C-alpha cells in the first residue's frame, strides 16, 4: 500500500512538471508581432515612409507566429481615400497582399494591418505603414504610354510602331531636364503610325493625356496663310483626332461615340475659349467653357509653348471634359442634348472607320495614317501635300487610359510633370 502511494505521488509530480514546463514554454514564446514587411525588395517596415515601390509589387508580411487565414488588411490610396481591392493569402507565418490592379505611379498608399490574428488567437497591434510608388504621378487604368525617349515605343503596353511607320521624326530635349526627350515633327511629312488603333479607343471610359508644343515658324498653307496642326488622329473623326486651328484660337478632340444600339456618331469636344456655353450662345450640351478673352485667348496657352492637354469621357455621367495645364477648360454633357436625340444614349467611344477611307493606325503628326483616302482631294487633308495640316512642333508623354480621370487626378498629373 505504501509503495502504491509513492507511485501515485510520483505520477502526480511528473504531470505537474509537464504542466509547469508547458506553461513556461508558452511564456517564453515571443509576442505575436510583425518581423518584416516588404514590397518586392523594398522595406516598408522602416522608420520612414518607403519610396520607389514598383507598380506591380506584391506585399509580403512576415510575423513571429503562424497567421490565421481569416486575417484582413486595408490598402488605401492617399489622394482620394479609395480602398483598393486586395487578395490576402496566409501561409505559415507569412501573409501575401496582392492588389487587384497595379499601383499608380508617384502615388502615396497607406497599408493598415488592422485585422491580423495568429492561429493561437492573438491579435496584432494595429500597424500602419505608408509607401510611395516610383516615378511621376500616374493614375491607374493606363493602357498605353509613349515617352519618346529616342524611340516611339509604347513603354507600358504593346502599341509599338514598326520602323517603316516612323517617318522624319527626331528626338530632342523636352520641356525640362527631368522630362527627357520629346518627338519633333517637321510640319511637312513627319508621322508615327501605331498599330491596332481601335483597341485604344473602344471603351466606355476614356482619357487622352499629352504634352504638346507647336512651332508656328514657316507653318503656312499653299496660300501662305497659317496652317492648322493635326496633332494626332485615328481615322480622323471616324475614330478620334486632336487638332489646333491655324490661328491658335481653338482646339478640339473630335471623336466617334457608341450610341448603344449598334450605331455611332461623332461629336467635337471643342474649346474656343470665349466663355459661351449652352446658356449663352454656345452649342447644345456645353455645360462649361472657360472664358479667356480677357487674358489673350487660347493662343496664350497653345501657341509655341508647352501645354499639357487632357481630354476625358465618363460613361456613367455621359460627360466629356478638356483640361489645359491642369485646369478645366471645357465640359459637355450628352444628358443635355434635346429629348429624342440619339446621343443621349451614348455609352462610350467606338472606332467606326473602314478602309480605304481611313486606316486603323493611330497617327502622331497627322489626322490619320498614310493609307487613308478620305480627304486626299483636299489641300489640307492629303498627307502627301507638305503644306497640308501636318503637325509642326514637339509631342511628349502621350498617355491613353481606359478610365475617365477626375479633375483631381488631372491636376496631380500636371503638377508632377510640369
d(CA 378, CA 400): 30
d(CA 366, CA 376): 13
Spatial CA neighbour of 145 closest among 395, 413, 398: 398
Q: Which residue has the cell 467653357?
A: 289
What are the residues facing 377 on neighbouring strands?
A: none
- pLDDT tens digits for 310-349? 999 999 999 999 999 999 999 999 999 999 999 999 999 9
The phi and psi torsions of 77 (rounded to 5 degrees) equal -85, 130
| pLDDT grade for 115, boundaries at 50, 70 and 90 | confident
Mean pLDDT value across the chain:
93
* Helix (H) or strand (E) run with residue 243 in it: strand 240-244
d(CA 48, CA 29): 29
Assess whether the previous peptide bond of 321 is cis (omega < 30° from 0): no
> Which residues does 190 contact at the CB level (< 8 Å), separation at least 6?
167, 168, 169, 184, 365, 390, 391
d(CA 176, CA 60): 37
d(CA 135, CA 142): 14
- pLDDT tens digits for 129-182? 999 999 899 999 999 999 999 999 999 999 999 999 999 999 999 999 999 999
Q: What is the DSSP string of 39-61?
A: ETTEESSSSS-EEEE-TT--EEE
CB 251 within 8 A of CB 243: yes
Q: Which residue has the cell 487610359?
A: 401
Which of the 8 DSSP states describes residue 178? G
Grid coordinates representing 6?
509513492
Assess whether the previous peptide bond of 356 is cis (omega < 30° from 0): yes
Residue 385 has pLDDT above 70, yes or no: yes
Grid coordinates representing 163?
520602323
Torsion of CA 130, 209, 328, 83, to 10 degrees: -30
CB 401 within 8 A of CB 143: yes
73 CB neighbour count, 10 Å cutoff:
17
Grid coordinates representing 36?
518584416
d(CA 290, CA 324): 11
SS3 345: helix
Measured between its terminal Cα atoms, the distance across the chain in Å is 96
Torsion of CA 382, 383, 387, 390, to 10 degrees: 120
Residue 269 has pLDDT above 60, yes or no: yes
338 CB neighbour count, 10 Å cutoff:
9
Residue 87 has pLDDT above 80, yes or no: yes
Q: With DSSP H G I counted as helix, E B as strand and the rest as coil, what are the percentages for the chain, rounded to 5?
A: 15, 40, 45
The H-assigned helical ranges of 92-237 are 197-201
104 CB neighbour count, 10 Å cutoff:
21
Q: Which residue has the cell 515633327?
A: 185
> Which residues does 23 contact at the CB level (< 8 Å), separation at least 6?
none
What are the residues facing 117 on neighbouring strands?
A: 123
Domains of the chain by start residue, with CATH: 34-133 (2.60.40.1220), 142-417 (2.60.120.200)
| pLDDT grade for 27, boundaries at 50, 70 and 90 | low
The H-assigned helical ranges of 162-259 are 197-201
d(CA 350, CA 203): 7
- pLDDT tens digits for 172-221? 999 999 999 999 999 999 999 999 999 999 999 999 999 999 999 999 99
Residue 13 has pLDDT above 50, yes or no: no
| pLDDT grade for 114, boundaries at 50, 70 and 90 | confident
What is the reported pTM?
A: 0.90
d(CA 154, CA 147): 8
Q: According to the model, what pLDDT value does residue 18 have?
A: 36
The phi and psi torsions of 298 (rounded to 5 degrees) equal -60, -35
Q: What is the DSSP string of 298-309?
A: THHHHSSS-EEE
Amino acid at each position: 500500500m505504501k509503495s502504491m502511494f509513492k507511485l501515485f505521488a510520483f505520477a502526480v509530480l511528473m504531470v505537474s512538471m509537464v504542466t509547469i514546463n508547458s506553461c513556461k514554454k508558452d511564456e517564453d514564446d515571443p509576442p505575436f508581432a510583425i518581423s518584416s514587411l516588404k514590397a518586392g525588395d523594398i522595406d516598408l517596415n522602416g522608420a520612414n515612409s518607403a519610396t520607389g515601390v514598383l507598380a506591380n509589387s506584391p506585399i509580403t508580411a512576415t510575423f513571429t507566429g503562424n497567421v490565421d487565414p481569416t486575417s484582413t488588411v486595408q490598402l488605401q490610396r492617399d489622394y482620394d481615400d479609395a480602398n483598393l481591392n486586395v487578395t490576402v493569402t496566409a501561409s505559415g507565418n507569412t501573409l501575401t497582399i496582392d492588389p487587384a490592379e497595379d499601383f499608380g505611379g508617384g502615388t502615396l498608399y497607406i497599408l493598415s494591418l488592422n485585422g491580423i490574428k495568429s492561429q493561437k488567437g492573438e491579435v496584432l497591434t494595429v500597424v500602419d505603414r505608408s509607401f510611395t510608388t516610383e516615378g511621376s504621378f500616374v493614375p491607374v487604368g493606363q493602357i498605353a504610354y509613349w515617352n519618346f525617349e529616342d524611340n516611339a515605343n509604347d513603354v507600358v503596353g504593346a502599341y509599338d510602331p514598326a520602323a517603316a511607320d516612323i517617318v522624319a521624326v527626331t528626338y530632342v530635349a523636352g520641356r525640362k531636364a527631368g522630362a527627357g526627350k520629346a518627338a519633333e515633327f517637321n510640319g511637312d511629312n513627319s508621322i508615327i503610325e501605331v498599330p491596332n488603333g481601335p483597341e485604344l479607343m473602344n471603351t466606355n471610359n476614356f482619357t487622352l493625356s499629352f504634352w504638346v508644343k507647336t512651332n508656328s515658324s514657316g507653318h503656312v498653307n499653299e496660300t501662305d496663310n497659317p496652317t492648322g496642326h493635326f496633332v494626332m488622329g485615328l481615322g480622323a473623326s471616324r475614330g478620334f483626332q486632336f487638332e489646333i486651328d491655324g490661328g491658335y484660337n481653338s482646339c478640339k478632340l473630335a471623336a466617334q461615340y457608341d450610341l448603344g444600339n449598334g450605331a455611332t456618331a461623332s461629336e467635337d469636344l471643342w474649346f474656343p475659349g470665349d466663355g459661351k456655353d449652352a446658356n449663352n450662345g454656345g452649342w447644345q450640351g456645353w455645360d462649361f467653357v472657360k472664358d479667356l478673352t480677357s487674358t489673350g485667348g487660347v493662343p496664350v496657352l497653345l501657341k509655341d509653348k508647352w501645354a499639357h492637354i487632357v481630354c476625358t469621357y465618363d460613361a456613367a455621367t455621359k460627360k466629356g471634359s478638356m483640361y489645359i495645364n491642369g485646369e478645366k477648360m471645357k465640359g459637355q454633357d450628352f444628358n443635355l442634348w434635346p429629348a429624342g436625340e440619339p446621343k443621349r444614349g451614348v455609352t462610350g467611344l467606338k472606332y467606326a472607320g473602314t478602309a480605304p477611307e481611313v486606316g486603323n493606325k493611330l497617327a502622331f503628326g497627322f489626322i490619320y495614317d498614310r493609307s487613308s483616302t478620305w480627304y486626299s482631294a483636299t489641300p489640307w487633308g492629303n498627307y502627301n501635300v507638305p503644306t497640308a495640316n501636318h503637325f509642326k512642333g514637339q509631342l511628349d508623354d502621350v498617355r491613353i487610359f481606359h478610365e475617365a480621370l477626375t479633375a483631381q487626378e488631372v491636376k496631380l498629373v500636371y503638377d508632377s510633370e510640369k
